[in-house]
Structure 1
Amino acid sequence: MSWLQPYSGLILFILSLLVFLVVQRRLHREIQGVFLLLTRSPALALGLFALLFFPGVLIHETSHWITAKLVGVRTGKFSLIPQLQPDGTLRLGYVEAAPADVFRETLIGAAPFISGVLTVGWIAVFPLDVFRFGQIQTGVRLNELWGGLADMGKMPDFWLWFYLAFTISSTMLPSASDRRAWLPSTLIIGIILIIFLIAGVGEWLLVLVDPINRVLGAVALVFGFSLVLHLFLILPFWLLRKLLSKATGLEVI
């Protein structure tokens, strides 16, 4: 429908984010299950899981630390050591930051997401050149499609870039603590927008709709690329977990 066109980027962003969240969490469970069945030690399985995602965790926490420094917020401890939380969740790392206003806390919390999207997008466009692969797909010929996949696998350092894109995209989403200032900052921005609308300057705000829609559309493409990476791995890890469960007689709950 034509009236949805100005918001196509927002719609794609929401849909791609929701699907990516579901697949990412399922893949994380499958990987943890494989490590637990292989080691039969929760502590060792936790260490292997953290080691696998170390590049992404490093970028995530470093983004917090750099942004805090840039906006003038004092930082404390910086840790990349995984810890199991009392509620059963896994914290792969953290950066302590002094309390600040909601806008600076929002920027600090959003930093890993911004740096992650930019990094994964750069890997997709330049080292992996996914747009060239997209051009191959437009031919709708199966032999060209498989040929394109084979060519991507032969690219220099393909698996290194694949691994980096996977780990960074899998750890770029903000945690609950990263999002704690988002609600109040969103409410403040919403109130300001309402005041502008009441004051009669709503038409001036419409010029922002198209740029924001384009940015969200670009982020949705990064989510789509990240989703493909996760889907590529989820079946092998699921099969490996099933085989290990059958061989050991153990099930991961």
Structure 2
Amino acid sequence: MALPNFGLVLWLLLCVVLVGWLQSRVTRHAQLILLLLIRNEHAALLAFQILFLPGVALHEGSHWIVARLLGMRDMEISLWPRRQRDGSVRLGYVKTEHMNFARAAFVGTAPLMAGIVVVSLISARLGLGRLWTAAAAAEAMQVRAVLAEVWLRPDLWLWVYLLFACSNTMLPSASDRRALPAAAAVLGGLALGGYLLGMLPLVRAAFGGVAWGLASATNVALCITILLDLLLLPLLYLLETLLWRLRGGQLLRA
């Protein structure tokens, strides 16, 4: 099986960019809604942390686990929220010893890989893969049947919440993004080495199926995240607007 082509790679990159933009909108509206509800900055920040705690734990835990697997020992992990100087919120962090670029590539991209796995598992649990297939084939009756089956699940909202929390925290943070050039360099170096050694046909034969599977899982995870956030954003915006009017435009207690 051939490796994923350039068009698919470009599509996935565009999906990542869109997920990043949607994630910033969702988290911003969520912060404002909690601040308008609670009207105390520190309590609202703690509530925001609790809201996204499953995703934050997955994000920072994946950093920590991969770093440990790569032999790093002098580490510190925190899941406590902290507001940065620029006004943004840091929900957690993992401090490690100095890493070379290869280690940085694996540690920095670990949350995205872990998030894709978890979103894919939740999607499979809810049967969203069948819904995706039916929608792609324009089978309206099958889509309605799958939607009805999903809607009747007693644990639906638990999985939707976990999907929301994990999908909106899986992208690399600002500090993680510093490892992306290292990840690109590692992949580029491997590809160049394979090309120079004439091993690309062997790589295609050995890993083409795996690569397509990963690309497919990534595509489904990103598209489900995009769809979920597109459904949530109007609701968050309406709730925020309503709270602004109820509070008279005041975020905090006078």
The percent of aligned pairs where both chains have the same amino acid is: 33
Deviation at 1:226, TM superposition (A): 1.3
Distance 1:214 1:144 in 2: 24
Alignment partner, residue 168 of structure 1: 166
| Aligned-partner SS, 2:177 | coil
- Equivalent residues of 1:56, 1:167 under 8 A apart: yes
Structure-to-structure mapping, 1:176-195, within 5 angstroms: 176-187=174-185, 189-190=187-188, 193-194=191-192
Deviation at 1:192, TM superposition (A): 5.8
Distance 1:105 1:98 in 2: 11
Residues 175-198 of structure 1: per-residue CA shift (max 9 Å, x gap):
12123233145335535644665x
Residues 141-193 of structure 1: per-residue CA shift (max 9 Å, x gap):
4x765564343121131111111111011111111212323314533553564
Distance 2:85 2:199 in 1: 47
Structure-to-structure mapping, 1:125-140, within 5 angstroms: 125=124, 127-134=125-132, 137=135, 138=137, 140=139
Alignment partner, residue 158 of structure 1: 156
Alignment partner, residue 220 of structure 2: 221
Alignment partner, residue 120 of structure 1: 119
State the one-letter code of the partner of 2:221: V
- Stretch deviating more after TM superposition (111-120 or 206-215): 206-215
- Equivalent residues of 1:8, 1:217 under 8 A apart: no
- TM-score, structure 1 normalization: 0.85
Alignment partner, residue 10 of structure 2: 11
Alignment partner, residue 67 of structure 1: 66
Alignment partner, residue 250 of structure 1: 249
Structure-to-structure mapping, 1:81-120, within 5 angstroms: 81-120=80-119
Deviation at 1:57, TM superposition (A): 0.6
State the one-letter code of the partner of 1:245: W
State the one-letter code of the partner of 1:77: E
State the one-letter code of the partner of 1:177: S
Residues 225-252 of structure 1: per-residue CA shift (max 9 Å, x gap):
1112222221211101011111222167
Relative distance call for 1:245 and 1:140 in structure 2 (3 A) is: same
- Equivalent residues of 1:57, 1:80 under 8 A apart: yes
- Stretch deviating more after TM superposition (14-23 or 29-38): 14-23
State the one-letter code of the partner of 1:40: R
* Structure 2: gaps spanning 5 or more residues: none
Distance 1:106 1:203 in 2: 22
Distance 2:134 2:219 in 1: 21
Deviation at 1:37, TM superposition (A): 1.2
| Number of residue-to-residue matches in the alignment | 245
Distance 2:138 2:181 in 1: 46
| Aligned-partner SS, 1:95 | strand
* Structure 1: gaps spanning 5 or more residues: none
Relative distance call for 1:241 and 1:184 in structure 2 (3 A) is: same
Alignment partner, residue 207 of structure 1: 204
Distance 2:183 2:131 in 1: 40
Relative distance call for 1:247 and 1:101 in structure 2 (3 A) is: same
Alignment partner, residue 149 of structure 1: 147
Deviation at 1:11, TM superposition (A): 2.6
Distance 2:183 2:120 in 1: 27
Distance 1:221 1:202 in 2: 30
